[in-house]
Amino acid sequence: MKPPATYEVQSYAGSQWKIEAFFDDHDLALAEARRMNESRRHFAVRVVEECFDASTETAITRTVYRSTPIDEHNKKRLEATAQTRKQVNLERAQRRPPARRPDHRHTTMLASAKLSHLLVKGAAIFVVGFGAILSIRFLAGQ
């Protein structure tokens, strides 16, 4: 069975967290933290849960809620940016004609033409070279 928990609502001021209220109920603590956050009188608000295990005599604390007006602002900005980006992409997609899919037949033909062109070039170089050697030999023999 989970040990009973207590909840501290804390606000951040003067580079430290200050306890603002104390509850034995999670939902009440969260509701109060949200109200404090909405009041915009606090730089940051958090709720710290503390569970005390009597068998081990240890207290386990964890932050169950944290919010700042900056977080709220950043969240709204991110949402607005994502929405704008989505709209831009949609409009861009509508404006552009659909991209042509590459024709596989055409690509194969192009590759074989290039290969034959290369072979012809090679043969020509070979013939010209062989002819040149023969000519040099013939001239040297005279």
Partner 1 sequence: MTSRVGERRLVLRVLAYWDEVREDRAFARLDQIDPCCLGEDWLSCAVLKIEAPIHDSIFTHVGDSFVEQNLSDATFYLADMTSPLLKHAFGYMQQVIDRRVPMSFGGQIRLFHRAALVRSIALPLADDNETITHILAAANYRFRPVEGTIVPSDPADEVMLE
**Nearest Cα to 1, choosing from 56, 63, 53, 48?**
53
- Contact stretch for partner 1 (CB under 8 A) within 33-41, 48-56, 79-87, 88-96: 33-41
Q: Are 64 and 34 within 8 A, CB to CB? A: no
CB of 14 to partner 1, least distance (A): 12
Using CB under 8 A as the binding rule, whether residue 49 contacts partner 1 is answered as no
Answer yes or no whether residue 59 interacts with partner 1 by CB under 8 A: no
Nearer to partner 1, 38 or 53 (CB): 38
E strand spans, 1-142: 5-13, 16-23, 45-53, 58-67
- 28 vs 123, which CB is nearer to partner 1? 28
For residue 20, the number of C-alpha atoms closer than 13 Å in the C-beta half-sphere is 22
Which span (19-27, 47-55, 64-72, 81-89) binds partner 1, by CB under 8 A? 19-27
Q: Interface with partner 1 includes 57 (CB under 8 A)?
A: no
Phi, psi of 60 (to 5 degrees): -110, 125
Both tokens of 129, joined, read 């070279």
Residue 72 contacts partner 1 per CB under 8 A = no
Where residue 14 falls (left for φ over 0; alpha for ψ -120 to 50; beta otherwise) is: left
What is the smallest separation between the CB atom of 89 and partner 1, expressed in angstroms? 40
Name the site residues for partner 1 (rule: CB under 8 A): 19-25, 27-28, 31-32, 35-36, 38-39, 41
